[in-house]
């Protein structure tokens, strides 16, 4: 159960961070604060990368916390 919690929290928090970075980079020059989701192709790529690294993080935490 613990590994699912680690995966889920890593994925959600990193997804939020990635979306914030996307919007900061994309709309840096515009006035005001804007928040948009990337198009489908970019979103799929973003989620795929996040899944890989969330799984890697879960694996590392699992290995480091084994007794």
- What's the confidence (pLDDT) of residue 4? 86
Of 61, 48, 46, 47, nearest to 6 by C-alpha is 61
What total of structural domains would you count in the chain?
1
pLDDT, tens digit, 9 for 90 and up, residues 8-49 = 999 999 999 999 988 888 777 777 777 888 999 999 999 999
**65 pLDDT above the threshold of 80:** yes
Distance CA 15, CA 65 (A): 25
Average pLDDT over residues 38-65: 92
Range of the domain at 45: 2-65
pTM across the whole model: 0.77
């Amino acid at each position: 159960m613990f590994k699912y919690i680690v995966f889920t929290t890593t994925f959600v928090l990193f997804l939020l961070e990635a979306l914030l970075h996307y919007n900061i980079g994309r709309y840096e020059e515009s006035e005001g604060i804007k928040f948009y989701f990337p198009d489908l192709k970019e979103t799929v790529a973003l989620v795929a990368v996040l899944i890989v690294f969330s799984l890697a993080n879960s694996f590392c935490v699992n290995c480091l916390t084994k007794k």
